[in-house]
Chain A
Amino acid sequence: MKRPLPPAGLTRLDAASVLARWVLGGFFIYMGWQKALHPEHFLTLLREYQMVQSPLALNSIAVSLPWFEIFCGLLLLAGVAVRGTALLLAAMLAVFTVVLWHRALGVQAAQAIPFCAVKFDCGCGGGPEFICAKLPENMVMFGVSVWLLAGRGRAFCALYTWPVR
């Protein structure tokens, strides 16, 4: 038995999900642009994580990640390949959050300060931030990505699903 199609008009939830898609897209464009303007600064911050030693790998991340974030942000704004993009962003945010957490624990141990007093420039594009503000922010963005991945935010999309086989 076929389920009824949604009404032509936007529900509040639809409108909220589209707004969330645009906000998430705009956020990634802004953060990516901040890094793309100063890739060498981003490279320096990436080094501080001490997770990648190879200069080629480190440089590759530093030069590609900012533009990749801008690209994903543009796709979300335009509504192109929304779920594929949301999946990528969710995966990236999950990795970023774990790495941030790990780094913050290191800073906390080194400086012997409370966890929420840990503040550093994570290279996310927003400058130095308190970890207890940055982690929830990441989690909210992760939540929005998952929400979009689940099929929300499909109004005002140029090409919601990429024609893949």
Chain B
Amino acid sequence: MMDDAAQAGTPACGCQLGRILREAVMVGALGVGLAFLANQLSPRGLNPFMNYSPGRAKASAGARPALTPSGASGATNASSPAALLAARLKENGLRLLDRAGVEKLFRDPRAQQDAIMFIDARDEDDYGKGHIPGAFEFYHYHPDKYLAEVLTPCQLAEQIVVYCNGGDCEDSESAALFLRDRGVPAGKLFIYGGGMTEWEAARLPVESGARNSGNLRNPAP
């Protein structure tokens, strides 16, 4: 093995280690600086000063329950994941809905006038592949992109259902809290715990592409 000291004909010594350490510090400092700069310049960059999970502080230190209610409003087992989740949402002034509840709201005629509003809290790709028909897109990691379009309808709506993929996805909860913190009354906000995974599995109508694109799968009979 040849290092600088060996090549120079001198034995390796502590100064060699010191030089490597100084080099590592320089690389580290420069790398961190450039990394933050790259994040600033990236269109996908995040704001380091924003709390993207506002409900987290209130959450218990233990594992978070999955967002898969088995009849959330009627959960009987107080320690079931659905009941734990419902309790946590309640702490934040939110309510959990199961599929039957969401389906009922979806079929409610008020949904046609956006008095009942659906918000898809997943990213652009997932939204484009398929969302609940008429759902607004709101990916809270890039709020500036969506907030202007979503906030006014949220103020006008009577009920707002927010969903993501379901399972252990937390984006629906975070998005709802984000909206709550921007003035949308928490009483209007509902979380669909089963999310898009459950909705699609139940072969309910799914719209692909842009909102109201008309590209429907499993259209209602």
Asked whether, in the complex, the Cβ of B48 is within 8 Å of the Cβ of A68, the reply is: no
Report the bound CA distance from A47 to B169 in whole Å: 12
**B113 at the A interface (CB under 8 A):** no
Chain B residues 129-172 with CB under 8 Å of chain A are 139, 141, 170-171
Nearest B-chain residue to A60, judged by Cβ: B48
Which B residues touch A2, using CB under 8 A? 9
Nearest A-chain residue to B141, judged by Cβ: A40
Which B residues touch A67, using CB under 8 A? 31, 34-36, 38-39
Asked whether, in the complex, the Cβ of B44 is within 8 Å of the Cβ of A38, the reply is: yes
Asked whether, in the complex, the Cβ of B26 is within 8 Å of the Cβ of A164, the reply is: yes
Given known contacts A67-B35, A164-B22, A84 and B46 CB-to-CB distance under 8 angstroms: no
Report the bound CA distance from A81 to B24 in whole Å: 8
Report the bound CA distance from A64 to B30 in whole Å: 12
Asked whether, in the complex, the Cβ of B27 is within 8 Å of the Cβ of A75, the reply is: yes
The dominant DSSP class at the A interface is helix
In the complex, how many residues of chain B place their beta carbon closer than 8 angstroms to a beta carbon of chain A?
Answer: 44
Which B residues touch A70, using CB under 8 A? 38
Which B residues touch A55, using CB under 8 A? 50-53, 56
What per-residue 1/0 map shows which CB atoms of A51-87 lie under 8 Å from chain B? 0000110011011111110111001000001011101
Report the bound CA distance from A72 to B28 in whole Å: 9
Which B residues touch A40, using CB under 8 A? 46, 52, 123, 139, 141
Which B residues touch A162, using CB under 8 A? 23, 26-27
Q: Which of A18-26, A124-132, A136-144, A148-156 contacts its partner?
A: A148-156
Asked whether, in the complex, the Cβ of B23 is within 8 Å of the Cβ of A36, the reply is: no
Given known contacts A40-B52, A56-B48, A85-B24, A64 and B36 CB-to-CB distance under 8 angstroms: yes
Chain B residues 58-108 with CB under 8 Å of chain A are 61, 63
Nearest A-chain residue to B21, judged by Cβ: A87
Asked whether, in the complex, the Cβ of B49 is within 8 Å of the Cβ of A56, the reply is: yes
Report the bound CA distance from A162 to B171 in whole Å: 44
Report the bound CA distance from A68 to B171 in whole Å: 26
Which B residues touch A150, using CB under 8 A? 1, 3
Residues of A within 8 A of B (CB): 2-3, 5-6, 36-40, 43-44, 47, 50, 55-56, 59-60, 62-68, 70-72, 75, 81, 83-85, 87-88, 110, 149-152, 154, 161-162, 164-165
Nearest 7 pairs of A and B residues by beta carbon: A84-B23, A67-B35, A151-B3, A2-B9, A64-B35, A40-B141, A84-B24
